Structures are given as structure tokens and as C-alpha cells.
Copies of this chain bind each other. A is one copy, B any other.
């Protein structure tokens, strides 16, 4: 079924000037331009199918990831797709263990984001050649999974996967811009820059949503360990379900200390969007450092590494609630989390997937949200493909959108 030799890998720096509207702003990222290092791979097969992959970035630095993708391309170009997918573990290791390149990682930072972008394109191409939606392709790969798969597949098609939104309270939004999405019962608020302002905003949002809906807090790594415990204690009255990224994503033992201290308050710790590889997740689980595990489809090494984390989370019985938003993160991660439900966790308890309602219009197969749930995608592939027009116009710095913006500044 799988066919063709990879003849070309092209990567471009696609940036959306989201900082102009304060979208995506938080305590550590005041002016993000949501961006992607966007990879397209082509083969010599007569089907003309291409694989599309990306990793999410915040503007500046996307050119560094683009450079890292180019550094990896010699491992991809001229390989038969069959050779890759028949030994995907070997191919993954070839990319992450290059004897010269691994020094600038290993498996972290720009080079690992680049690995994710490249592998996302390979998975998209593979699924397209098989004519399968990615999450169904994954279900087939994991043949010896849970029983009851069929029923859960049907349930997903009928009800979708529960979503929650962050858009309601980006830190850069003025109060009157705090939008509330109908039908959504779970909300996340950015905190960490100013305690009094956090109290005010949490009170406002808790009053707007009422006592029964779920509220989550996200500090985006702003605090030291002790500071996190003290700060969150002062926000406990608003009954948050979790505090997300209370401190450095590298501080496993710090997260464990915070988790322990917040147990009496009934507040869990959530983290993962900046956990750079499976080794960090392994330790977060071993150290009982989190209650909610937030994979990121574009920071971990694509489907491959995300799978290993889903399986570890299952072993430790920690619910996976993916990070999404950004550029394309919703599109990609829906496949992983629906797969997780059908074939790995088998449960929706305490589980939900982040959703942010912007930039979907640039994708050829955008996510569909109904009744605050992700509707399972229908098209073959990994939903990674951007509209040609968008990818061209927003290319940095030569695309027309940027040419206009840069000529003004």
C-alpha cells in the first residue's frame, strides 16, 4: 500500500500577526505571533499525494526551527516511505540520534520541534496513502488494545470529544472583550502576572459562569515553587480544578512539591505543553508531580513519542488533557486524544481537550466543534495541511501580509 521515494522536503516560516490583537498572550508571552515551521514532503509516486507537517512557534525563532528542519532533511530525502514505516522506531532514532546534531538537543529545543514537524508530515503522508483518517489508522496499529473499541468509536462519532476553551481570558484582553462561548462548561484563565488582578479576573469569570462550571488556571511557568503554592492558595476560593504550568517545565521535583501542597485545597497540577520529551513525562508520573497530563502534538516527536506518553499515562492512571490552540495544534491533537479514548484510556472521566477558536480558517481540514466537543475528523491524513493561499500570504517575511506590516513599521 505504502509507496514512493521521498524526493523533496520543503519548509517555510509561516507567521500570523496575532500579537496585534493580544491573542494568545499570557504571563510569560506578552506578544506572540502564532506561527509554524511548515513542512511539505513529496514523493515520486504517481498518486501525487503530499505529506504536510508543522510545529507550532511564537514568531521570532521560527527561522531557527526552519534551519533545524533543513539540517534534518538529509535523513528524510531519498528514503522510501515503505522503508520508514516498516521500521518507524529506527527512523525516529535516526532523526533524534544523529551523532552531530544531537549535541544541540538532545531531543529538546529547536531540533526536537523540527523533528516533530518532519515526522508529522510523514504521518500525514502515510495516512493519506492509506486513505485513512489518522486516529483510525492509529486504532488499527494498536491492534491489541482495549475491548469495546467499536462502541467508543461510535460514541465519538455521535458525541465527540469534550473540549474546553482558553480564549475567554487571554491576559492581553480588556475585561469587556472576555467572550463566553455558548455551550462550553469548562473555562481556563491565564494568571500569574499580578495577584490582585488575578483575584479580580477570577471573581469576574466565576460570577459569569456560575458555581457549577469548571474553571482552570494557567500560570505559564511564572512562579518559583514556594510562590506558586502561596499564590494558588489565594485563588483557591474560586474553586479551580487545576493550576497549569505553575513553574519551570523542567522542575519535576518542584511540580511534585506543589502537587503535594495543593492536595488539601482540592486543586490538581496540570503540565506538559513545554515538557520537551518522554523522559520528562516519565519522571513527572514517577514523582506524582501532576494530576492532569497535557501532551503537545508538536513539541513531542510527533505521533511516535506522543504514543509512548499516552501509554505511560495509562499505566499511571493519569488523565491526558492535551494542550491545543496555537497554529494547528487542535487539528493534530484531536486525532491523538480520540485515539487515546478509543484504544488506550477507554475513559472520559476527568478528561477534556483544549480548544481555542482562532486560525482554523487557514487549514484545509479545520476542526469541527459541536456542543463543546470535538467532532471526529473525516478526511484522510493528519489534518495538517494548510490552505495554499494562507501558507503563501503569511510566509515570513516575503508573504504579502508581512510585506504590508513591515512596510508600516
Interface residues of A (CB under 8 A from B): 28-33, 56-61, 63-65, 67-68, 71, 97-113, 221, 248-254, 274, 276-277, 279-280, 282-283, 286-287
Given contacts A251-B282, A252-B283, whether A109 and B99 have CB atoms under 8 Å apart is no
Can you name 20 A-B pairs with beta carbons within 8 Å? A28-B97, A28-B102, A29-B100, A29-B102, A30-B99, A31-B99, A58-B102, A59-B100, A60-B71, A60-B101, A63-B71, A64-B111, A104-B113, A106-B249, A107-B250, A108-B276, A250-B279, A250-B280, A252-B253, A253-B283
B residues near A65, Cβ cutoff 8 Å? 104
Contact between chains at A60 and B274 (CB < 8 Å): no
| Contact between B105 and A109, CB atoms less than 8 A apart | yes
A109 contact from B57, B59, B110, B251, Cβ within 8 A: B110
Tell me the complex Cα distance, A31–B249, Å: 32
Contacts of A248 in B (CB 8 A): 279
Pairwise interchain contact B57-A61, C-beta atoms closer than 8 A: no
> Within 8 Å CB of A58, what residues of B?
99-103
Q: Do residues B252 and A110 form an inter-chain contact, with CB atoms below 8 A?
A: no
| A110 proximity list for chain B (CB < 8 A) | 64, 68, 104, 109-111
Closest 7 CB pairs of A and B: A109-B109, A60-B100, A59-B100, A110-B110, A250-B279, A58-B103, A61-B101
Q: Which residues of B contact A283 (CB under 8 A)?
A: 250-254
- On whether the beta carbons of A64 and B60 are closer than 8 Å, the reply is no
Of the candidates B59, B104, B249, the one whose C-beta lies within 8 Å of that of A57 is: B104
B-chain residues with CB within 8 Å of residue A29 when the two chains form the complex: 99-100, 102-103
Q: Which chain B residue has the least Cβ–Cβ distance from A33?
A: B100
Q: Which residue of B lies closest to A69 (CB)?
A: B64
A250 touches B108 (CB 8 A): yes
Q: Which residues of B contact A60 (CB under 8 A)?
A: 71, 98, 100-101
A67's partner among B67, B99, B277 (CB-CB below 8 A) is B67
The distance in angstroms between the C-alpha atoms of A30 and B221, with both chains bound, is 37
Within the complex, the shortest CB–CB distance from A322 to chain B, in Å, comes to 17
Chain B residues lying within 8 Å of A286, measured Cβ to Cβ, are 253
- Distance between A95 CB and nearest chain B CB, rounded to angstroms: 12
Q: How far is the CA of A33 from the CA of B107 in the complex (A)?
A: 20
Q: Would you give the shortest CB distance from A373 to chain B, in whole angstroms?
A: 28
Minimal Cβ-Cβ distance residue in B for A114? B64
- Contact between chains at A253 and B104 (CB < 8 Å): no
Residues of B within 8 A of A111 (CB): 61, 64, 109-110
Q: Point out the residues of chain B lying under 8 angstroms from A68, CB to CB.
A: 61, 64, 110
| Alpha-carbon distance A64/B110, docked complex (angstroms) | 8
Kindly list chain B residues whose C-beta atoms are within 8 Å of the C-beta of A67.
63-64, 67
A367 to chain B, nearest CB (A): 22
Distance of A93 from chain B, by nearest CB (Å): 11
Query: B residues within 8 A CB of A101?
Result: 58, 60-61
A64 partner, pick from B104, B252, B279, beta carbons under 8 A: B104
- Complex Cα spacing A283 to B276, Å: 16
* Residues in chain B near residue A254, CB distance under 8 A: 279, 283
Compute how far the CA of A249 lies from the CA of B110 in the bound complex, rounded to whole angstroms: 17
- Given known contacts A104-B64, A110-B109, A110-B111, is B32 in contact with A99 (CB within 8 Å)? yes
A150 to chain B, nearest CB (A): 36
Task: Tell me if B71 and A64 are in contact (CB < 8 A).
Answer: yes
* Cβ A252 vs Cβ B252 within 8 A: yes
| Complex interface: chain B residues within 8 A of A113 (CB) | 104
- Asked if residues A103 and B61 are in contact (CB atoms below 8 Å), the reply is yes
A30 to B98: give the CA distance in the assembly, Å.
Answer: 9
CA distance A309 to B100 in the complex (A): 27
CA distance A283 to B279 in the complex (A): 14
Contact A103 B57 (CB under 8 A): yes
Residues of B within 8 A of A97 (CB): 28
